């Protein structure tokens, strides 16, 4: 290979391993095993990209900074209109204002001002970082799947009991849907439990916790639906089926009524000449 070839070659794309399929035990909130669930390989089975993960998490932490620190310049500090002392005869350096940065109580030179620390991060990098974090937790077998949070009213005692049955220790991240408000309020008073909305899950949230708990409602099944969709609700499907059955029944009744009307018309047309 010549020097020209090495210069014109460009960046070399790293070959990464193919996604692997990982399984996790599906349980209820009492800890009873309900079977095995195959996790989506493209979400929980990729090789973590540590460089992208570091860059995205750094950007997320930078965006969380308020950036409200501020100092006053010499023009913003009160006072300093008069010359502090005579130009000559004092033995000191000449001064024209007591608010100079070199004076005690003066302004600050080149001090911080309100600013934004937000960094621009492409959407594909944000998604890859999240998938890398989820794959890392799945590789460590720190992903838990429950069927549903079947609580009628919020109770911290029930939340503590459920975490004990699921055998999760340390910091726990519970991924919830919008309608799972009872579970969100049940976990709210636990200092080591962090709840996150399904659509607002970030790589920093995943890495901050030791365990991540999904329900059948929030377990992602594909990368296309990961940020916008949830698993279908069984009740909604049943209602849809009932509506479809009701519609078919109405259609059948209307078809029978039309057939009866046609038969009545035929009979009246046949009897008309006989009566004449």
Domain at 125, CATH number? 3.40.1370.10
Which pLDDT score, from 0 to 100, does residue 227 have? 44
Give pTM, 2 decimals.
0.70
Q: Report whether pLDDT(261) > 70.
A: no
Collapsing DSSP states into helix, strand and coil, what is residue 59? helix
CA angle 184, 42, 59 (to 5 degrees): 65
Asked whether residue 24 falls in the same domain as residue 105, the answer is: no
The boundaries of the domain holding residue 148 are 16-67+121-215
Closest residue by Cα to residue 14 from 48, 58, 53, 54: 48
| Helix 50-63 vs helix 123-139: crossing angle, to nearest 10 | 110
98/104 Cα distance (integer angstroms):
8
113/69 Cα distance (integer angstroms):
6
133: tokens are 């974090």
Asked whether residue 46 falls in the same domain as residue 178, the answer is: yes
Asked whether residue 188 falls in the same domain as residue 61, the answer is: yes
- Write out pLDDT tens, residues 206-260: 999 999 999 998 998 865 555 434 444 444 444 443 444 344 443 443 444 444 4
Evaluate whether residue 8 is within a structural domain.
no
Asked whether residue 61 falls in the same domain as residue 194, the answer is: yes
Upper half-sphere CA count for residue 65 (Cβ side, 13 Å): 13
179/231 Cα distance (integer angstroms):
13
C-alpha dist (Å) from residue 83 to 99, 100, 105, 108, 154: 10, 11, 15, 19, 68
Collapsing DSSP states into helix, strand and coil, what is residue 144? strand
> Which run of H or E residues covers position 129?
helix 123-139
Q: Strand locations in 116-234, DSSP E?
A: 143-146, 172-176, 193-197, 211-215
Report the chain's mean pLDDT, rounded to a whole number: 82
The total number of structural domains in the chain stands at: 2
- Write out pLDDT tens, residues 55-104: 999 999 999 999 999 999 999 999 988 999 999 999 999 999 999 999 99
Single out the residue in 80, 111, 142 at which a domain terminates.
Answer: 111
Of 17 and 160, more confident: 160
Which pLDDT score, from 0 to 100, does residue 6 have? 57
- Write out pLDDT tens, residues 165-204: 999 999 999 999 988 999 999 999 999 999 999 888 999 9
Asked whether residue 93 falls in the same domain as residue 61, the answer is: no
Confidence of residue 269 (pLDDT cuts 50, 70, 90): very low
Asked whether residue 63 falls in the same domain as residue 137, the answer is: yes
Asked whether residue 161 falls in the same domain as residue 36, the answer is: yes
- Write out pLDDT tens, residues 100-145: 999 999 999 999 999 999 999 999 999 999 999 999 999 999 999 9
CA angle 71, 72, 73 (to 5 degrees): 125
Single out the residue in 215, 236, 254 at which a domain terminates.
Answer: 215
Asked whether residue 147 falls in the same domain as residue 165, the answer is: yes
Which pLDDT score, from 0 to 100, does residue 3 have? 58
Q: Report whether pLDDT(10) > 90.
A: no
């Amino acid at each position: 290979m010549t020097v020209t070839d090495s210069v014109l070659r460009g960046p070399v794309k790293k070959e990464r391993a193919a996604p692997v399929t990982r399984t996790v035990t599906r349980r209820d909130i009492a800890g009873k095993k309900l079977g095995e669930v195959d996790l989506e390989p493209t979400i929980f089975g990729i090789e973590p990209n540590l460089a992208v993960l570091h860059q995205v998490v750094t950007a997320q932490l930078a965006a969380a900074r308020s950036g409200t620190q501020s100092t006053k310049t010499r023009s913003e500090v009160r006072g300093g209109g008069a010359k502090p002392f005579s130009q000559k005869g004092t033995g000191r350096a000449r001064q024209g204002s007591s608010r100079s940065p070199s004076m005690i109580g003066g302004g600050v030179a080149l001090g911080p001002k309100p600013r934004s620390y937000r960094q621009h991060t492409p959407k594909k990098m944000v998604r890859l970082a999240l998938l890398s974090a989820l794959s890392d937790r799945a590789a460590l077998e720190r992903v838990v799947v429950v069927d549903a949070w079947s609580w009628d009213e919020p109770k911290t005692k029930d939340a503590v009991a459920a975490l004990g049955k699921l055998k999760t220790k340390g910091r726990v991240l519970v991924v919830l849907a919008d309608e799972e408000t009872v579970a969100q309020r049940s976990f709210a008073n636990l200092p080591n439990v962090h709840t996150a909305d399904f659509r607002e899950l970030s790589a920093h949230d995943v890495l901050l916790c030791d365990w991540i708990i999904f329900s059948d409602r929030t377990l992602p099944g594909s990368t296309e639906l990961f940020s916008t969709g949830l698993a279908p609700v069984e009740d909604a499907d049943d209602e849809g089926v009932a509506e479809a059955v009701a519609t078919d029944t109405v259609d059948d009744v209307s078809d029978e009524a039309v057939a009866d009307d046609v038969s009545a018309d035929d009979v009246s047309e046949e009897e008309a000449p006989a009566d004449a």
